[in-house]
Structure 1
Amino acid sequence: MREFILHETNKSQLWQILKEIISTGKRWRIKISEYREKRSLSQNNLMWKWNAEMAGQLTAVSSESFSEEWVHEWLKEQFCPAKPITIMGKTVWVKSTKLLDVGEMHKYLNDIDVWAHQRGLKLTIPHECEYRELQRKQEE
């Protein structure tokens, strides 16, 4: 079944979709949950900026070399919440920033920001970015 985002302007379409589904003769499970925007491009760009900054800083103080991809994988393991993915009745739990909504991604970025600050790593937070705007709103 495809995803359907229900709101006041398209509620009449829901019944048509349900009739089509029911006409297949199969049994269906329908889950209704509040719609939340997926992580934003701004959040994703900031995450990769930070991954590159941390990789450079960690490499500079270590005998090892770190790539932004390695930093990304390590941070996901530390701070990203696991999400279920089900295929053919088998569910696995994965840690992927692609599956986070805007709020979850903000928490993920905040956790990274705190962790990096505690270790003396310097992260750039552009003045006009979504992360800074969400921080300001939380402080109000």
Structure 2
Amino acid sequence: MRASHEHPKDGLRLHSTNFEAVKNHLSELLKDGKTYRLNISFWRERRSLPQNSLSHVWYEEISQYLVSRGRTFADEKWVKRAMKHSFLGYEDIESMDVVTGEITVTQELKHTSKLTTGDMHHYLSKVESWAQSIGCLLTVPDNCEYRELQRKQEE
């Protein structure tokens, strides 16, 4: 039912060619008499592994650049957090105290793993632009996904 590249957390990709299979699967679920919540939204691909790999190359390059200019605290982990703080921001997370039942809301940095490929490209563009503004030129392989998306935007 699910293509090998689709992960359960990503949901089910519905299109005209697999509608009957989805209908049959849902019919099987409904036989037990339980009710289910079904949410439908437009399919957007999650950020890709090549995008994630490039971001980590860039965090390391930015770290090396900053350290070479005296910012010894700027390791790759610090750079990643600073970039996400500056260019992704935060999301509210609800937590419940299991003893008191009290619900609290805290903020947590957004995760790149939850971004679409387009959102991740936008984030990477901001990181690259900022790095250039401080004189740090980042590696962008000519045949990488980031460069290909840049070319498509320029068309």
With the shorter chain as reference, the TM-score category is 0.7 to 0.9
| 127-136 or 6-15, which deviates more | 6-15
Gaps of 5+ in 2: 1-7, 97-102
Letter in 2 for 1:37: E
Which of 18, 24, 27 is equivalent to 2:26?
18
Which of 134, 141, 146 is equivalent to 1:131?
146
Letter in 2 for 1:100: L
- Shift in CA distance, 128/10, structure 1 to aligned 2, threshold 3 Å: same
**Correspondence list, 1:89-104, <5 A:** 94=108, 95-104=110-119
Deviation at 1:19, TM superposition (A): 2.2
- Shift in CA distance, 19/82, structure 1 to aligned 2, threshold 3 Å: farther
**Correspondence list, 1:53-64, <5 A:** 53-64=61-72
Q: Tell me the distance in 2 between the aligned counterparts of 1:39 and 1:122.
A: 23
| Paired position in structure 2 for 1:33 | 41
Q: Tell me the distance in 1 between the aligned counterparts of 2:94 and 2:36.
A: 15
Which of 105, 118, 123 is equivalent to 2:120?
105
Tell me the secondary structure at the aligned position of residue 29 of structure 2: helix
Q: TM-score, normalised by structure 1?
A: 0.83
Deviation digits for residues 37-85 of structure 1 (CA, Å, limit 9, x no counterpart): 1111221111011000000000111242321111111111111255677
- Kept in 2, the 8 Å contact 1:83–1:99? The answer is no
Tell me the secondary structure at the aligned position of residue 59 of structure 1: helix
Structure 1 vs Structure 2 CA RMSD: 2.6
Tell me the secondary structure at the aligned position of residue 44 of structure 2: coil
Q: How high is the sequence identity, in percent, across the aligned residues?
A: 40
Q: How many residues align?
A: 138
Q: TM-score, normalised by structure 2?
A: 0.76
Letter in 1 for 2:36: W
Deviation at 1:120, TM superposition (A): 1.6
